[in-house]
Amino acid sequence: MLTVRERVQKYTADEIEEFKSVSTSTIGHFTDFGFIANFNCTVSVTKVYGEVITVKLSSGDGYPLNIALQHAKEGDILVIDASGNKTHACWGEFRARKAEEIGLSAVIVGGAVTDFEYLRRSRIPVFYESFHQRRREI
């Protein structure tokens, strides 16, 4: 079942701008959850900013990503939970091109990506757990 929730504006553009001065290690001093170890990035970047859109995938179905991209706005960060699946890539060149068109700030994939050469050349940083040639159903 696919559930799309209404977008909630939690922070103003000015507040997001203020967050840019906060170090990620400072955030770590105030919380002990929400950090993910062993992530790689397609480019050399340490910080990304923007509102977050989350997607949780199940089985081999990547269709919810298409819906998320339809709702995404410039500056958003797309966070994908692949439900532990690291052998079926849910992000690659096809969706990265759409993300560039939208102007996403970053994509964070709790799972596998593919088309690594394209992702390295993309202007959007992609944080990911693993690389795999096998893809999910579009």
The answer to whether 115 is annotated as binding is: yes
Which three-class secondary structure state does DSSP give residue 122? Answer: coil
**CA nearest 112: which of 22, 27, 40, 17?**
40
**CA nearest 102: which of 62, 130, 128, 69?**
69
Binding residues for Mg(2+): 115
Binding residues: 115
